[in-house]
Amino acid sequence: MSSISEARILIMATDGFEQSELQVPLEKLRAAGARVDVAAPEGASEIKGWLDKNWGAKVPVDLEIAAAEVEDYDALVLPGGQMNPDVLRMNDDAIALIQEFIDAGKVVAAICHAPWLLVEADAVDGKTITSWPSIRTDVENAGGEWVDQEVVIDDGLITSRSPKDLDAFVAAIIEQVEAGLALDEDAKA
């Protein structure tokens, strides 16, 4: 039986991520036994969160985005906040990595404003997506169907609206990663 404890998960972020949207998945996925790495743009040894209208805690960075290899991971998690995805959607390495995860059929989970990254990676056309309400038009203009739900799963894409949805978001990541690991096991058998 496949378990999240067999999984490797990558969280991609930069300064200005919503503190809870990185910290909660990082802590809960690690507590469930997954190996979780944090990737950030070149040169960052740590990144700063955003918490209650001010800078939050720093998180150590394990590797640069450009050094991340999709085959080393079972899922990609994209925290939101306004600044973080807005900066990352202008980073060619970040967008290429998202596209590689999607092309490989791996789980990609985005919360809050992070679906901006899915829009930039041309990954929402024909998909049902949720997000922070202010980017609804961006999702719809990119061909996605926007819905107001705590978590939406559509063909390997997991999306949620805000920090209040983190429990459902992390549960969906665990469920989808375990399902993917089980499929991999079946394919090898």
Non-local CB neighbours of 160 within 8 Å, separated by 6+ positions: 109, 110, 111, 112, 130, 150, 151, 152, 166, 168, 169, 172
Angle between helix 19-31 and 166-188 (nearest 10): 40
Structural domain tally of the chain? 1
Q: What is the pLDDT along the chain (189 residues), one digit of tens a residue?
A: 478 888 999 999 999 999 999 999 999 999 999 999 999 999 889 999 999 999 999 999 999 999 999 999 999 999 999 999 999 999 999 999 999 999 999 999 999 999 999 999 999 999 999 999 999 999 999 999 999 999 999 999 999 999 999 999 999 999 999 998 877 766 666
What's the whole-model pTM score? Answer: 0.96
Query: Can you tell me the distance from the alpha carbon of 57 to that of 165, in angstroms, rounded to the nearest whole number?
Result: 21
Predicted pLDDT at 43: 87
pLDDT at 180: 85
Do you know the residue count of the chain? 189
Q: Which residues pair with 1 in a beta bridge?
A: none
Per DSSP bridges, beta strands 145-146 and 63-64 are unpaired
Query: What range does the domain containing 24 cover?
Result: 4-188
Can you give the pLDDT at residue 181? Answer: 80
Find out whether 62 and 34 touch, Cβ atoms under 8 Å: no
The Cα 125–Cα 115 span in angstroms is 12
Task: Say if residue 179 is exposed, middle or buried (CB neighbours under 10 Å; 0-12, 13-18, 19+).
Answer: middle
Residue 1 has a pLDDT of: 47
Query: The domain that contains 182 carries what CATH number?
Result: 3.40.50.880
The set of catalytic residues is 113
The half-sphere exposure of 156 on its side-chain side, counting CA atoms within 13 A, is: 19
What whole-number distance in Å separates Cα of residue 34 and Cα of residue 45? Answer: 22
The predicted structure's pLDDT at residue 44: 87
